[in-house]
Structure 1
Amino acid sequence: MCFLFCIFSNAQNTVSGSVRNENNNKPLAFATVRLSDGKTVIVDVDGKFTIENTKGLDHFSVSYSGFETVSVPLEPGKKFYTVKLREKATEISELIIGGNPAPGIVKKAIEKKYYNDPKRRLASFQFKTYNKLIVTANPDSISGKIDSVFLYEKIGSRLLKLDSSDYKFKKIIQKQHLYQTEKVSEFRFNQKEGLKETIIAARMAGFKQPIYEYISLKLQSFSDYNNRIQLFENKYISPVSDESLKHYNFKILDTVFIGTRKVFMIHFKDKKQSKKAKLEGILYIDKETHAITKSIYRIKSVLDISATTYYTYDKEEDLWFPERQSLKIVKGNKKGDIKILGETIRFSQEDEAENKNPKKKEASDFVYILSESKNSEVEFNVPVQIRHRYVGIEIREEAISRNEHFWVPYRKDSLDVRSIVTYSALDSLVTKERYEQKIQLGRKVINGFFPLGPVDMDLRYLIKYNNYEGFRFGAGGVTNDRFSKFMRLEGYGAYGLKDKAFKYSLGTATRLGKFSNTWIGVSYTDDVQEIASTSFEVDKRKFRLYDPRPLNLTTFFSHQTWKGYVESRLIPKTESVWQLSHSYIDPKFGYFFDVGDKILSSFRITMATASLQWNPFSVYMQTPNGRIETEKGYPKFTFQFSQTLPGVLQNDVDFGKLDFRAEYEKKYLDGQKTSLLFQGGFAYGDAPITHLFSIAPNSLDKDAILQRFNISGKNSFETMRFNEFFSDEYAAFHFKHAFRKIKLFNQIKPIPVLVTRMAWGNMQDKGKHSGANFNTLENGYFESGLEVNNIYKGLGLSGFYRYGYYQLPRFDDNISLKLTFVLDLGF
């Protein structure tokens, strides 16, 4: 009872309100609320404010540039205040000299940012940061009543049920938060290696082993001086970037003191009113140094995000350095639930108290996310060593096992009762419901495995279909850490019902390095493979739940292959495979290859291959379980070089191959996405058709459009016939632009996607290849079309048209209609 009374008492000390223009009743964004104890609160972009604790206060005053200041007495029991300000006839002289001085002040801040930016000014620095993130709600915002739900009929109404959800929710939220995480990080910076975060303690309510991806979420940028600032995984043009004066309108609101230093309050707002997610806020700029002393950012779209960075002044260095940060997220001004931390969370803005017809809100509508960080142990210009600088975030082995005594010095305040209860309640709930095990299972399944004790069953081998093997059933797997952390066994077996042949593979590998995840292994495979398919060795472990393109394939070759390989992430921001293989190749379609002194129908190939995926703009996190790509950066590059070894293990052919791929993707704040893919290859020497390039055709050689109807591939040419073109050198370009979802009905939300593809190719000596009729691509191949994805349950339709030099004589032969399928697991 005492616990509930304390919560109730604190809730009663919270008041809120709005600030408006007396003449037109419009909200006055970012007005200043000064409390009688000297503290200040900044009104948000909608003119709203909250005073968390009024204990000991008797009044507050509200001021805004160009308006008369109003003093408001606090009345017992009053919870909401509407404050209306009257415009002044004149403004203070400092603000009217030269018209609007704000752009000039910001221009000086931009000119001096190289001096004021700690990452440019200081040779090195280091500090520790305590961060706490909670998902919670204010109990006082929730009525907690048990509602009666009636059905209204012609003859009256009848009671259907008693709705106690708000009542139950308030009971829960009075005792605990919905979710909570804490971490302590050590940040180190020097001019040579840059800034790196090392997490030395991490705690996630309910989990013995935290979900590392969520601990690494980039909520706010460390510095306001970057040309792009980051807010909740999205990037925006900084108000002090080199181009900010083109993008923002600036207005001076006030001059205030932070400590003993006088600063300008400058409001900025995006000039493009049509933008869906506009950055708006306030910069506090030091009058003498023109350094940022405080920043407030606001994004109001599907999410309503408020972020504040507070700086502290170091007199010895004459430098403002970040001291603490806060970020709050509620539901914005658009419909839709938001998926955060793997769950769908409902957010809502609070309606103003004076709204005459407020929409009734459920208790969960008041949920918000709050992240707060506090820096400590700050040191400037001391020797700083940074290990593994290419890993942006590193989590120490002991981080997840810190005891309670470790946390105490870093917390700004000791944990309150609600936070303590949150840990115990969620620890119990997660253990009872086995959420941690379910998440681990989900991780495995997303990557194509299903754990069965010490073995992870590989889902790629269960069932497949193509025109050569027919239905192919199989099973495979690889041992996991429960078997050994330093050794693995892997393999599969499969049987094709049409070719009546058994295929299999066996392999083993030993781990050489944990940090670089380096393995050395050997394997033997007896299987079939599509001819002229471009295959990067670094892609072999990537899982696709479905791959529709092989359904109509008919041309394969069988191979018996021995491999010795090393796979590693030792080179910064890369994955690489280095291997030596020996294969016996037997084409299954009556093929003959002329190598000058002999004609081969089958052949042996001994080959050395180096395959490397390089992601220079991605951000990686090293966890006790391995390395994770936490922020995908583009472009990404893949290189592969292969060379046969004449005279080694009876090698029959002498050739080499170079393959290259570049990927780029840009996501827009309004939900649109642009994707670009460039891929090319070059084969030299005596390369058989099995090892040339066909650039992924995906159309049947049929007369009628509906006879060619099948399923679209990811990056395949939808109007190109199977085996129509082969090349020993080629270049292909794919362009896709996905527009926003179009909501037609609750279950029907199609996504239109414009697609254009083009390719060029060549064949140096087409006469070497017998038994296969094909064309070459010297004159360029072109197709364009429209995909309408996710019409219903991930299913959609697409249409493509073939044009240019290789356009077919009949109009409808150039048209391809396909079924599309986009798997959305909600992650």
Structure 2
Amino acid sequence: MKNIFIIVFSFSFCFAFSQSKIIVKNAADDTAIHGAEISCKNQVLGRTDHSGTLIFNTKCSKVEVSAKGFYEEDVVTDKLMEVFLTKTDVKTREIQSVVLQDKSDPKALEILRKINENYQENSPKSLDSYSYKSYEKISLDFDEDSIKAYNNYIGNRIDSLKKLPQQPMKKQEMKDSLQSVGLMKLMGSSKMFLWERALENLYSKKYGEKTIVLDNKIAGLKEPIYELMAFRSNRTQIPKEIKEENRNLYRYFLTDSIEIDGRENYVIRFREVGYKQSANKTKFNGYIYVDKDTYALKKIVSNSKIKSEGSITSIWKPFDNKWFLVKENYKIKLASTTFSNTSDSDKNKTKEQKEEDKKTRSKFGTYAFVTADYFDFKTPIEEKRQNFRGYSMEVNNSDGSLIDKYRTDSLTGREQTTYLKIDSLSNKYNLDNKVKALAGLLKGKLRLGMVDFDLSKIVGYNKYEHFRLGLGAKLNEKFSRYISPDAYFAYGIYDKQFKFGAGVDIRTTTKKNSFFRVEYFDDVNAAGRFSENLWNFRMMIMNSGVSLNNGVFYGYKGFAVSYENDITNGLTVNVSARKSEEDAKFDYSYKGLGNTFDVTSSTITLKYSPNSKNIMTENGKFTYEQNFPEFYFNYEQGFKSLDGDFNFSRLDALLVHNFKTKLGVTGLRAYGGIVFGDAPIWKNFTMNGLGKGNGGLNFNLTSYLGFATMEGGKYYNDKFVGAYLTHRLPWYFKSFGKNVSSFDVIYRGTIGNMKNPEFHQFDFKKLNHLYNEVGLEWNNFLSTQFNLGFFYRVGYYNTTKFKDNFAIQFKLKLLGF
């Protein structure tokens, strides 16, 4: 009986405390460090032997490593860990400093090449099906050292304030002062933000991916934030440290081999280009473990140049001969908070006193901490169509009641306090509404209570109205989950006319995007604009400047009814009927019939985006990951019935795709349109020129389908095709700061024709030869958030004057491809 008890106890102990092995070395010469102390939460787990090795058991997700004369290091707990400590003595480090060649080891590069070559084969997605669960914890907080220093600072600060003479204060000033002290105390005992999430991830080659939110809990928020819930980690992407295009950003060195779980691994250490070892830096930024048999990633540890700025650790393990990510651990510095140690107002201080005060201010680093564990791997799984129906992400539970069931590590006392204290603050400061307002910005909306304001309506510019000022608002789910009225108005500074519109959406279900819409409108638009039906906010913002130099506008006034439905996660259909009075805002006549017409038409729009990821929120569908290819199709049919003046058919289509090869990333937009029957010029197609056409330098903002060197409003066709081709060169470099720059080579071309240009009595040209422009775009220009492009017109429309053919473009990097 005693033996049985011992066996059961031993089994339980091993199950609860996984065994780990750590090897501690000197970063300068790779020699073993004897007596290095390994601890967790101020409890010593052991010290390394003469080989620098310690075998220990712990449930801690991280351990601290310290040795006399070396900087301390944190390391994510794994079965085997290597830690390289750096000397604290500057002079000693300068003597021991090893001058590394500024080029990578060819053997290391060959191994990295084989990692990329075998990446897809080693990936779980090469399986027919699989599933796994994940638990993620994300928080904002000080680091351990800063917490102690901060609490000491706050204690001393409050004591010093108590000793000061009490000054008479107004009621509001007293309230603000008490709240300020309360918040300062809170930051000392609680994290600033805490979020836990448990997911189940399903994959089938036949049906695709499905993510189920098992539970979700955010400190201070009672209602789920779906836009945040849909946050994606990098678990399905190739780590940036091994991507072929990033070879210029790092130097790699094959330094060792090591056995883990009976499998031999290469050890490659790396550092950033231009990296110089100094007192607060290590010789290498990180290391990569590579399985020798399969050339699969086993582990990546990537540290910042300066130890205090953070680190990232990712660990994989083999399961059914594929390598699944099992652990991620991030620590990333976001900012430094500075507090003055004196209480006197800056207004009463001299310049010298202010300079002296800067030296005594306390700084505390704010960090984002992310831990993620992946577990319960299964392959193959039973593939049922109903398990993959609906959107790519679905929420089973989101009130935090089940999160305990999926936690892989218990909450610390500080984390438990966070839920208690932030929840109490939430009730006081109405954090739910404020966070939802921030989430609304992702969709271009400003949320205030039950009203969403459309940010895209506030200000605009075009050649007809010049500045266009306006306001658009829509009642959200706080008004009703099924009925959502909206309205907008705008005023053109140049034409001095008001425009407005109003409508209402009526949902048929809250499970997916499905609604009827009725609307009235009285507005203007550029003639011949390509259809933007079902485009997302980013695409429309990028294309909003397409009319900056096009003054050919028409007015439209009338009403429309429509129905929109997501048939699947990737397929959306919208059908509508419209009746309007339309008139030219420029000198125009069609077939001598004048410039004002009644138009009756119906339109069907299809959007197919099979790889994009969507989630249903209380306020409608949210696309949290736009993936390619995407296909848009519009067919509009005009009728002479119901008092319509024209019988016409208008079709247009857009294909957007990008793909990666060894030569870099290539992006494509292929589009075109055709009109049959009688229709005024605005039902035809303008060729989207962005240039001014006044003989000066062409300088413009990029647009989704525009041409930098083409004069705006000059060319119109009733049929055309066009292409936008961009290729990112696989060469990345650092210019200034931390941002990485690269170059895109760009080609834009279009050709078409106009069957009867004489029907349209106004000054324009048909574009019936191939129009070409080529360009080079510098991404992250001088490490800014802008891309700078240079374009030149070639081919048939090229002129003898350089400035006529040349254009410069700016693009906000955030807009992407």
Specify if TM > 0.5.
yes
Q: Aligned to 1:654, which of 647, 666, 670?
A: 647
Structure 1, unmatched stretches of 5+, are: 1-14, 36-47, 64-68, 86-99, 148-167, 222-227, 239-246, 332-337, 339-343, 347-359
1:199 offset after TM fit, Å?
Answer: 1.0
Q: Aligned to 1:133, which of 131, 138, 141?
A: 138
Map 1:282-293 onto structure 2 (within 5 A): 282-283=289-290
Aligned counterparts of 1:102 and 1:497: Cα–Cα separation in 2: 60
Q: Tell me the secondary structure at the aligned position of residue 206 of structure 1.
A: coil
User: Are 1:309 and 1:325, in contact at CA under 8 Å, matched by a contact in 2?
Assistant: yes
Deviates more, 1:407-416 or 1:794-803: 794-803
Question: Which residue number corresponds to residue 587 of structure 2?
Answer: 590
Q: Aligned to 1:203, which of 205, 217, 221?
A: 217
What letter matches 1:567 in structure 2?
E
Q: Aligned to 1:254, which of 255, 258, 261?
A: 258
1:198 offset after TM fit, Å?
Answer: 0.9
User: How has the CA–CA distance of structure 1 residues 137 and 502 changed in structure 2, closer, same or farther, with 3 Å as cutoff?
Assistant: closer
Question: Which residue number corresponds to residue 535 of structure 1?
Answer: 531
Aligned counterparts of 2:367 and 2:783: Cα–Cα separation in 1: 30
Q: Tell me the secondary structure at the aligned position of residue 436 of structure 2.
A: helix
User: Are 1:208 and 1:400, in contact at CA under 8 Å, matched by a contact in 2?
Assistant: no
Aligned counterparts of 1:695 and 1:549: Cα–Cα separation in 2: 10
User: How has the CA–CA distance of structure 1 residues 486 and 416 changed in structure 2, closer, same or farther, with 3 Å as cutoff?
Assistant: same
1:557 offset after TM fit, Å?
Answer: 1.8
User: How has the CA–CA distance of structure 1 residues 732 and 50 changed in structure 2, closer, same or farther, with 3 Å as cutoff?
Assistant: farther
Aligned counterparts of 2:533 and 2:66: Cα–Cα separation in 1: 70
Structure 2, unmatched stretches of 5+, are: 1-20, 57-64, 72-82, 86-106, 154-181, 245-250, 277-283, 338-359
1:588 offset after TM fit, Å?
Answer: 2.9
What letter matches 1:489 in structure 2?
P
Pair 1:688 & 2:680 matched = yes
Deviates more, 1:766-775 or 1:461-470: 461-470
Aligned counterparts of 1:812 and 1:110: Cα–Cα separation in 2: 46
Q: Higher helix fraction: Structure 1 or Structure 2?
A: 2
Q: Tell me the secondary structure at the aligned position of residue 257 of structure 2.
A: strand
User: Are 2:216 and 2:403, in contact at CA under 8 Å, matched by a contact in 1?
Assistant: no
Q: Tell me the secondary structure at the aligned position of residue 717 of structure 2.
A: coil
Aligned counterparts of 1:390 and 1:250: Cα–Cα separation in 2: 47
1:273 offset after TM fit, Å?
Answer: 8.3
Q: Tell me the secondary structure at the aligned position of residue 534 of structure 1.
A: coil
Aligned counterparts of 2:796 and 2:325: Cα–Cα separation in 1: 64
Pair 1:641 & 2:635 matched = yes
Q: Aligned to 2:671, which of 657, 669, 679?
A: 679
1:420 offset after TM fit, Å?
Answer: 0.5
1:371 offset after TM fit, Å?
Answer: 0.5
Aligned counterparts of 1:789 and 1:208: Cα–Cα separation in 2: 39
Pair 1:632 & 2:636 matched = no
Pair 1:766 & 2:780 matched = no
User: How has the CA–CA distance of structure 1 residues 368 and 692 changed in structure 2, closer, same or farther, with 3 Å as cutoff?
Assistant: closer
Aligned counterparts of 2:371 and 2:44: Cα–Cα separation in 1: 27
Question: Which residue number corresponds to residue 512 of structure 2?
Answer: 516
1:610 offset after TM fit, Å?
Answer: 1.9
1:511 offset after TM fit, Å?
Answer: 0.5
Deviates more, 1:294-303 or 1:576-585: 294-303
Q: Tell me the secondary structure at the aligned position of residue 755 of structure 2.
A: coil
Question: Which residue number corresponds to residue 718 of structure 1?
Answer: 708
User: Are 1:467 and 1:553, in contact at CA under 8 Å, matched by a contact in 2?
Assistant: yes
Aligned counterparts of 1:113 and 1:799: Cα–Cα separation in 2: 36
User: What do the CA deviations read for 1:100-145 (whole angstroms, capped 9, x no partner)?
Assistant: 99999x999999997x977666x76655443333444552477839
User: Are 1:16 and 1:80, in contact at CA under 8 Å, matched by a contact in 2?
Assistant: no
User: Are 2:228 and 2:439, in contact at CA under 8 Å, matched by a contact in 1?
Assistant: no
Aligned counterparts of 2:726 and 2:649: Cα–Cα separation in 1: 32
User: Are 1:127 and 1:376, in contact at CA under 8 Å, matched by a contact in 2?
Assistant: yes
What letter matches 2:644 in structure 1?
N
Q: Aligned to 1:780, which of 768, 771, 782?
A: 771
User: How has the CA–CA distance of structure 1 residues 519 and 541 changed in structure 2, closer, same or farther, with 3 Å as cutoff?
Assistant: farther
User: How has the CA–CA distance of structure 1 residues 274 and 675 changed in structure 2, closer, same or farther, with 3 Å as cutoff?
Assistant: farther
Q: TM-score, normalised by structure 2?
A: 0.68
The alignment-based identity, stated in percent, is 22
What letter matches 1:198 in structure 2?
I
Q: Aligned to 2:200, which of 186, 209, 212?
A: 186
Q: Tell me the secondary structure at the aligned position of residue 724 of structure 1.
A: coil
Q: CA RMSD of the aligned region, Å?
A: 5.5
Aligned counterparts of 1:282 and 1:713: Cα–Cα separation in 2: 44
Question: Which residue number corresponds to residue 44 of structure 1?
Answer: none
User: What do the CA deviations read for 1:355-386 (whole angstroms, capped 9, x no partner)?
Assistant: xxxxx998645845230325359697567665
Structure scoring higher RCO (CA < 8 A, sep ≥ 6) equals 2
User: What do the CA deviations read for 1:56-112 (whole angstroms, capped 9, x no partner)?
Assistant: 75542476xxxxx77899xx9956669999xxxxxxxxxxxxxx99999x9999999
Q: Aligned to 2:288, which of 272, 281, 297?
A: 281
User: Are 1:701 and 1:722, in contact at CA under 8 Å, matched by a contact in 2?
Assistant: yes
Aligned counterparts of 1:264 and 1:782: Cα–Cα separation in 2: 53
Question: Which residue number corresponds to residue 578 of structure 1?
Answer: 575
User: How has the CA–CA distance of structure 1 residues 323 and 460 changed in structure 2, closer, same or farther, with 3 Å as cutoff?
Assistant: closer
Pair 1:264 & 2:264 matched = yes
Q: Aligned to 2:718, which of 717, 724, 728?
A: 728
Aligned counterparts of 1:744 and 1:275: Cα–Cα separation in 2: 14
Q: Aligned to 1:487, which of 460, 483, 487?
A: 483
Q: Tell me the secondary structure at the aligned position of residue 369 of structure 2.
A: strand
1:431 offset after TM fit, Å?
Answer: 4.8
Q: Tell me the secondary structure at the aligned position of residue 433 of structure 2.
A: helix
Map 1:749-760 onto structure 2 (within 5 A): 756-760=747-751
Aligned counterparts of 2:38 and 2:382: Cα–Cα separation in 1: 41
Aligned counterparts of 1:373 and 1:785: Cα–Cα separation in 2: 43
Pair 1:219 & 2:262 matched = no
Question: Which residue number corresponds to residue 296 of structure 1?
Answer: 299
1:759 offset after TM fit, Å?
Answer: 2.3
Q: Tell me the secondary structure at the aligned position of residue 506 of structure 1.
A: strand
Question: Which residue number corresponds to residue 656 of structure 2?
Answer: 663
Q: Tell me the secondary structure at the aligned position of residue 534 of structure 2.
A: helix
User: How has the CA–CA distance of structure 1 residues 411 and 684 changed in structure 2, closer, same or farther, with 3 Å as cutoff?
Assistant: same
Q: Tell me the secondary structure at the aligned position of residue 773 of structure 1.
A: coil
Q: Tell me the secondary structure at the aligned position of residue 513 of structure 1.
A: coil
Question: Which residue number corresponds to residue 40 of structure 2?
Answer: 52
Aligned counterparts of 1:639 and 1:212: Cα–Cα separation in 2: 29
